[in-house]
Structure 1
């Protein structure tokens, strides 16, 4: 009787190559302006009331407008890193400055407008995610101090985002294309960011940002105001600035002459 031998599986040799591919990814560019001390004051005010603004985001620092020397740029990077800003690159400086003490120096960056549509032809087209665009645009407007006026009112989608539950601490809701409606309360430490208006059928204890792309027509409505921060069209108001007579009341907040006005609804 002759035994039949099973063929041996082919031996696979492990690859000795490491694969590299050139890819392009959108990043968030932070642009400090002079005087730098005043810019840091605005940054600290944002981080005091919204410490999660920069969390889990890759940031490029653009110092084109500052004209700093290498030592001063190094100090700027150190101060930002100490504030929890994760810096992945630096632009606006001489490429010959590249060294271990500075982030990688990037060149030939291109701005991506908030309303810019993704390019046709696939997944590699550069575009920011809704959460990145909405959150960072809100910071950029606040740090700019409202100096740059919008040239047009952005279009908003007619379809709102409806959240059927309370928004808990640590949660973030982003809807850059329209209104957000929350059927419940917004806890302290939670964020709501909308391209349009925000309606909260409950208590607001967290941070509410309406008109994330500078839409001055956006409004904020809530049944009980105890917010940590309110922002409309890039202009913000912290808890300390909210009047006592509207705290704990049903209110309507709107932007008027670059100032947030809060009106009682009852």
Structure 2
């Protein structure tokens, strides 16, 4: 009989928790032709960015009686080098059909209790003011392939961010140097988050899931300028000049 040390040494894998940022395709309604055409237009804006990108198919805006063809969705996505890895939301029937097609459920957003229900519920103790989480500060260059995440706080970078690098934050992102990689602020859904940088050369800017790609950014008069990015009406990413004087 092998010893515990021998058995452990022969294990072929270790299970570890991790965090990944996944883009979502939110289906409003489903038509194979419309879906294929729109996804093709989107991918053609930045083919290298979407190459083998893992995505989650969100069904939360679909009517419960909708019947999307998940095998068809997978085929369309993969024909455009996009890789669907699961679904979010949807009726029980959708979840079952998606799983049969090879897309597991990744849960759904838990709705907030209605005001009426909140009024009739038993009294709750006063909420405790959350403690301040200091911003994460990076004072060295962020190289291609690196990913830096500021959980439950903002991220401040005092050095250049190379193309291929990725900045993630639940709060704001500040880059006091050229930003050539990707910056994703408010990744927990914080629509009030902002992105600041003193030289916009980014591959992607995203706030709470709303994003602009390099192709869009380069056509802006603010390309290579000091800018701030924020959401307008919590749904449209807007750029504006940032004065550092």
TM-score tier (shorter): 0.5 to 0.7
- Structure 2 distance, partners of 1:104, 1:53, is 16
Q: Quick check: which one's helix share is greater?
A: 2
Q: Deviations over 1:174-223 (max 9, x none)?
A: 22411011121111122212111101121111111112233232221112
Change (3 A) 1:43 1:256: same
Partner residue, 2:240: 262
Q: CA RMSD in A?
A: 4.3
- Structure 2 distance, partners of 1:176, 1:220, is 16
Change (3 A) 1:77 1:185: same
Change (3 A) 1:201 1:78: same
- Structure 1 distance, partners of 2:163, 2:173, is 16
The structure 2 residue matched to 1:217, chosen from 188, 192, 197, is 192
Partner residue, 1:75: 72
Partner residue, 2:139: 164
- Structure 2 distance, partners of 1:96, 1:262, is 44
Q: Deviations over 1:219-239 (max 9, x none)?
A: 211121111221223322222
Q: TM-score, normalised by structure 1?
A: 0.56
- Structure 2 distance, partners of 1:200, 1:214, is 21
- Structure 2 distance, partners of 1:31, 1:173, is 26
Query: SS at the partner of 1:85?
Result: strand
Q: Quick check: which one's strand share is greater?
A: 2
Partner residue, 2:29: 34
Q: TM-score, normalised by structure 2?
A: 0.60
- Structure 2 distance, partners of 1:84, 1:43, is 11
Unmatched runs of 5 consecutive residues or more in structure 1: 1-9, 13-25, 114-154
Change (3 A) 1:35 1:205: same
Q: Compare CA radii of gyration and give the structure with the larger one.
A: 1
Query: SS at the partner of 2:83?
Result: coil
Change (3 A) 1:93 1:112: closer
Say whether the 8 Å CA contact 1:47–1:53 is kept in structure 2.
no
The structure 1 residue matched to 2:221, chosen from 245, 250, 260, is 245
Q: Which has the higher contact order (CA 8 A, sep 6+)?
A: 1
Query: SS at the partner of 2:50?
Result: coil
Q: Deviations over 1:155-190 (max 9, x none)?
A: 895321222321112222222411011121111122
Partner residue, 1:103: 102
2:234 is the counterpart of 1:236: no
